[in-house]
A and B are shown apart, each in its own frame.
Chain A
Amino acid sequence: MGKIAHKGGQTFIGGLNRVFHCNHYNAHLQMSILMSEGISGHVPERLLVDAVSPLIKYLMKEGYTETELLYEFSFCGFGKLKQLNEEYWVTPFSHYGDSTYTHGKPGKVAYFNAGYVQGITQFFTEQSHSKLMDDDNDQYHVNTEQANNSESYFAYDVELSEPPPRFEFKDCIPCRTGIDENAVIQAVSSLPLFGRLGKNDTGLINAFGVVLTNHFADYYNRISYQTYFAMTQAGIPEEDVKEIFIQSGHVCAFNTFGGIMSSPEWHAVVEPMCKGREDWFHGMIAVINALGWGLYRIEKIDIEKEFIVRIYNSYEGVGYRRMYPITEDKSLSFLAMGAMLGLVHLLWKVDIRDKPSLDHDFYVSQFNNPENSYGVEQTDAIAAGDDYDRIVVYR
């Protein structure tokens, strides 16, 4: 497997940025992408497959062998992938097959796995069997047709920036907190957040009440922005398209952040450093800084008015710039907006410290209730040439 490296808040394996995300985020994001089915010239089912292959090809160019790719599939929490014969591959366990969902009819939803196989074989691949459709397992059929969408979609080189230390940058309103960010990052980094490939292992990462993946940031960016462009060009209002992607981040925050802040690890490591609710906010930001999403820096906490967070080297901003020219649109970091809104909601709309049961019914009942809800906007964007993303959550 490739070398694991960290720079500027991002994590790299084999030279590609990796980010932790849960099954709820993966499910919602994939559902959002699939909603674009029917737009002329845009085939979301293929996008979800074809966006993987160039990344696998990249890793192979970096020297990965097939064995290493299969090991990494499990290490990153995607499950277990095996070749059955010349035509078929199988995933006895798989994140996308077992832990994601759509709100629609059960179907063949493991597009990512098909793309991974397509990347390895370089032949057109699609899912042929699905456990969700009462087949015995999830299988993938490798066609004899050469895959023609494996060329890299990285068009631009982007240098990562050097983020400033906590509270030491212009316009930052210094906060007092007992949170030792380095200690939190070190504690999170020492957790066994990887899948195993042993005989009795699943290759899945079960942690904090969710199922995690250490996913390709570029995959998320590619499928999100290509779909965003397709939807807006088809005449769907920009706000609606953005909202559906921001909701994926919000769901992610509720489940993953909620799970983390309810976990024994949190109670053992972070909570003892917390005096008030603001410390929980600082603590969760420290945890985020271990997820590979970029480096989050709190600019301001005014609980009566607004919460402002800057993100240096945000994986969405940097990823956008690697694929597309600089844009004038400053609100394209959908995950970051949804995640920050969700975090504020977890602490100030509901109070996670009261240990509510974070199930789906609770989510719906809380977020169908407009009382005490916050709004979110992005004012600065790496995608637009700014030094950082800046997210404002406001009352």
Chain B
Amino acid sequence: MENNTFNKMPTALLFDSVNNKRQATQQSVLENALLASKLGILMAVKTDKYINFRHDIVELTGRQVIALTSILDEYFNVNMQQEVRDLLIEPNMPDTVSNDSALLDGLNKQTQNENNQGLFKRIKRFFGRQRA
């Protein structure tokens, strides 16, 4: 992952993932609006660059991904190094997906229809299908 290239990340899946991890460690679930505003402010304070986590997808440089992982650890008490990496859509992937809304539509359908599947398996399989 290069530090000067952007990686996309779907925020809804990030929030789900944070809450799954918090629940797994007997911590309270947080509402999405709170997660979005806290992350936006904390990213701005820690990296000098504001990122709006209310958007469906955020774009992060390698440095910002590291900052996000550290913020999640410090301010949300969850170690999500691996999960954050799994949520990233690598920079070359959007070539096969026409735009973000198509990307999200597909993701939403997947998540609605296959609730029993693991979150990250669903994401990976979706992108695998897009590439094919």
Check A236/B41 contact, CB under 8 A, given A103-B30, A360-B28, A368-B32: yes
CA distance A364 to B40 in the complex (A): 19
Contact A236 B50 (CB under 8 A): yes
Does B76 contact A104, Cβ atoms closer than 8 Å?
A: yes
Instruction: Indicate if the CB atoms of A39 and B41 lie closer than 8 Å.
Output: no
Q: Interface segment, A49-57, A120-128, A133-141, A237-245?
A: A237-245
Are B41 and A367 within 8 A (Cβ)?
Answer: no
Bound complex: CA A361 to CA B77 (Å) = 18
Bound CA–CA A105/B27 (angstroms)? 11
Residue numbers in A under 8 Å from B119 (CB-CB): none
Q: Which residues of B contact A367 (CB under 8 A)?
A: 31, 33
Asked if A272 lies at the interface with its beta carbon under 8 angstroms from chain B, I say: no
The secondary structure that dominates the A interface is: loop
The reply to whether B77 and A363 form a contact with Cβ atoms under 8 Å apart is no
Query: How many Å lie between the Cα of A367 and that of B31 in the bound state?
Result: 7
How many residues on A have C-beta within 8 angstroms of the other chain's C-beta atoms? 25
Asked whether, in the complex, the Cβ of A235 is within 8 Å of the Cβ of B44, the reply is yes
In the bound complex, do residue B45 and residue A234 qualify as a contact, i.e. CB atoms below 8 Å apart? yes
User: Bound complex: CA of A275 vs CA of B32, how far in Å?
Assistant: 35
A201 close to B (CB within 8 Å): no
Q: Is A313 an interface residue (CB 8 A)?
A: no
Mask, B55-80, CB within 8 Å of A = 1, is 00000000000000000011111000
Q: In this assembly, does A35 line the interface, its C-beta being within 8 Å of a C-beta of chain B? A: yes
Considering the chains assembled together, what is the distance between the CA atoms of A38 and B75 in angstroms?
13
Residue A231 lies at the interface, judged by CB distance under 8 Å to chain B? yes
Partner of A104, one of B28, B41, B75: B75
| Closest chain B residue, CB of each to CB of A230 | B45
What would be 22 A-B contacts, judged by CB atoms less than 8 Å apart? A35-B38, A35-B45, A36-B41, A37-B45, A38-B45, A38-B46, A39-B45, A103-B30, A103-B38, A104-B74, A231-B41, A236-B44, A240-B37, A240-B41, A240-B50, A240-B52, A243-B33, A247-B37, A364-B30, A367-B33, A368-B32, A368-B33
